Chains A and B, each alone.
Chain A
Amino acid sequence: MWDYTDKVKDHFMNPRNVGDIADADAVGEVGSLACGDALKLFIKLDENKERIVDAKFQTFGCGSAIASSSALTEMIKGKTLDEALQITNQEIADFLGGLPEEKMHCSVMGQEALEVAIAKYRGGPVPTHDHGHEHEQEGEIVCKCFGLTDGFLKKVIGQNRLHTAEQVTHFTKAGGACGGCIPKIKELIAEVLGEQQKLEPKRPERLTNLRKMQLIQEVLENEVRPQLWADGGDLELIDIAGSNVQIAFRKACAGCASSSYTARFVEQKLRELVAEDISVEEVQG
């Protein structure tokens, strides 16, 4: 049994705004019968075509899919199209008091339908997270089962700070059927994490010992561990003595034949981002 919040229950037991709008300004459809959930969203604008005055939905899907659709329609009413586009799937989930992680794809579907509806209304290119329908957007299909592109997956990975392939599956379904694209998803995660790293400052000039320790911890947390997670591994920081950093490998990294390479990789990262004189030592902890 899923642990649904009262708000989620309320929204699937008493969904708001089910139906259609005959003279809708924008209609967005995502999903399909075959993939087990689908959402059709209708939007009506005011006279000046600025603000959303009404929204209705039809959803084929589980309780969270119904609740997420219901929440979305409530959230966008009164907003301009640009304001509505700012809504993230996380905000849809928050509106409902949270969704189980395995159900996050339901909130993503709401956000997608909204993007499709607005793009169609504006006459621009229609984004493709159109699982099972034609793919009209640029980008390379990564997950063939659900028709998801690299562009879309990278966006979801970035926005939700996902760091494992399993999480990406929970949020988007990508990789959930045949699993053939999981290696590619891991690459995308590494890519997105890499891009986020570039934005962060490079190695500072001179360091106090305390600052050095803090930096080592930050680099391990933000740069190193996410990359290990992507391969099912992990490490733990055991001790820092001056420039000697002791780490222990966990999960898939523990006992991995190439753990000494991984240790060198960690050392390289720390030298690059913290200080030249750092040495990394693998210990049993």
Chain B
Amino acid sequence: MKEIYLDNNATTRVDDAVFEEMRPYFCELYGNPSSMHYFGGQVQQKVDEARQRVATLIGAHPEEIIFTACGTESDNAAIRSALEVFPNKRHVITTRVEHPAVLTMCRGLSKHGYRVTELNVDGEGRLDLDELRNAIDENTAIVSIMYANNETGVIFPIEEVGRIVKEKGALFHTDAVQAVGKIPLNMAESTIDMLSISGHKLHAPKGIGVLYVRKGIPFRPFMVGGHQEKSRRAGTENTAAIIALGKACELAGKHLDEENTRVKAMRDRLERELLRLIPAARINGGKAERLPNTLSIAFEFVEGELILLYLSELGICASSGSACTSGSLEPSHVLRAMGVPFTCAHGSIRFTLSRYTTEEEVDTVIRELPRIIRRGREMSPFGRELLQQQ
């Protein structure tokens, strides 16, 4: 059974060209870029090239790129740095729908004397900028608001947010892990101070990330030790992964148009057909501006994990917006923040496409999913009532 991989917001396939680019840096060109000899020096050159490639993708300067071990580290490092830079500012603003990499960190801060404001979203997953305007003050050290949501794909008006933040003199960080490579970004004309990237979301390997820090923005390192990354992130570089990420960023730039045309068209077709074929379904964040590859769709009266298990049996890989583990039998914090009705909050499925997705794969989902939903509903006491009504 060949898998149909529609879970690209969870992680992506490493591009073959990316893999080829990194391959020599394990057994052949394994030198340490900090070494004085030519053998390390040639690796240093490739790391610099990678830094340039990452910078180019987001319209930044190479000195503004710090390599980290993952998106989570970048998020943590950005927020911690801001708090060290402003030791007297004891207020942090974020949103209720952030990835745990930001949210868990902020909630932890509230136990250490910080005031943490979590901004709400409306039923479509959108921010109310007036809420931000009212929350921010001179005591706010950092505002950390994601560029695009990993579950729904909803894109926040980041530049407008940035302008509000700058007026109050706070630092502005955005978790752009899901945005980079899917929509164009340009730091040269941006209000963003710090921005997080994760390699494995754009066809590079897992375990490599970037924190962009704008020139002139003060930064305090999270990881201290050696002088790597200009002492902003100590630890011997993950050279192969850095070089891979550079290549992945170069390719992402080339494929950006495709992402917003061909991939988006497939996503739109999947969305349209599922809504047409399956009654009592709704799109989470359907009225908001969204990433071109993400479809979060909620089905009433059927449970998400069951749908995933039935899809998985056919080789179709997706994810759900709720996890039936006891504690969080609860719908995800994102769907809860959006106030998705309880009749369908447990039945949300996320399909996330990539440039590897084919029309045939989309056809398979369109063919199989209506049957699966019907089957789940036939088993469910509420679903049966729905089916009887029809």
Residues of A participating in the B interface, judged by any CB pair closer than 8 Å: 12-13, 15, 18, 29, 33-40, 58-66, 102-105, 166, 169-173, 175-177
Contact = CB atoms under 8 A, between A and B. Distances in A.
B266 to A, nearest CB: 26
Contacts of A64: 324
Contacts of B378: 18
A33 B301 contact: yes
Contacts of B382: 33, 38, 60
B329 interface: yes
A103 B323 CA distance: 11
Given A60-B303, A63-B309, A170-B326, 7 more contacts: A29-B381, A40-B381, A60-B301, A60-B383, A103-B326, A171-B326, A175-B327
Given A58-B384, A63-B309, A37 B324 contact: yes
B242 interface: no
B379 A58 contact: yes
B380 interface: yes
Contacts of A175: 327
A176 B329 contact: yes
A33 B340 CA distance: 13
A104 B326 CA distance: 8
Contacts of A61: 303, 306, 324, 380
Interface of B: 301-306, 309-310, 313, 322, 324-331, 342-343, 346, 378-384
Contact of B330 (A36, A39, A171): A36
B324 A58 contact: no
Contacts of B324: 36-37, 61-62, 64-65, 103
27 contacts: A12-B309, A18-B379, A33-B301, A33-B342, A36-B331, A36-B346, A37-B303, A37-B324, A38-B380, A39-B381, A58-B379, A58-B381, A59-B379, A60-B303, A60-B381, A61-B303, A61-B324, A61-B380, A62-B305, A62-B306, A103-B326, A166-B327, A169-B327, A170-B325, A173-B326, A175-B327, A176-B328
Nearest to B383: A60
Contact of A65 (B303, B310, B327): B303
Given A12-B306, A61-B303, A35 B381 contact: no
Contacts of A66: 306, 379
Interface centre among B329, B342, B381 (most CB of A within 10 A): B329
Given A13-B313, A15-B379, A62 B303 contact: yes
B303 A36 contact: yes
B325 to A, nearest CB: 4
A255 to B, nearest CB: 18
A105 B382 CA distance: 20
A169 B379 contact: no
A37 B380 CA distance: 9
Contacts of B306: 12, 61-63, 65-66
Smallest CB-CB A-B distances: 4 pairs = A60-B380, A62-B324, A62-B305, A176-B327
Contacts of A102: 325-327
Contacts of B301: 33, 60
A40 to B, nearest CB: 4
A106 B133 CA distance: 45
A177 B303 contact: no
Contacts of B309: 12-13, 62-63
A115 B147 CA distance: 50
A166 B326 CA distance: 9
Contact of B329 (A29, A36, A171): A36
A173 B313 CA distance: 28
A240 to B, nearest CB: 39
A105 B328 CA distance: 12
Contacts of A176: 326-330
A7 to B, nearest CB: 14
B330 A177 contact: yes
B278 to A, nearest CB: 17
Contacts of A103: 324-326
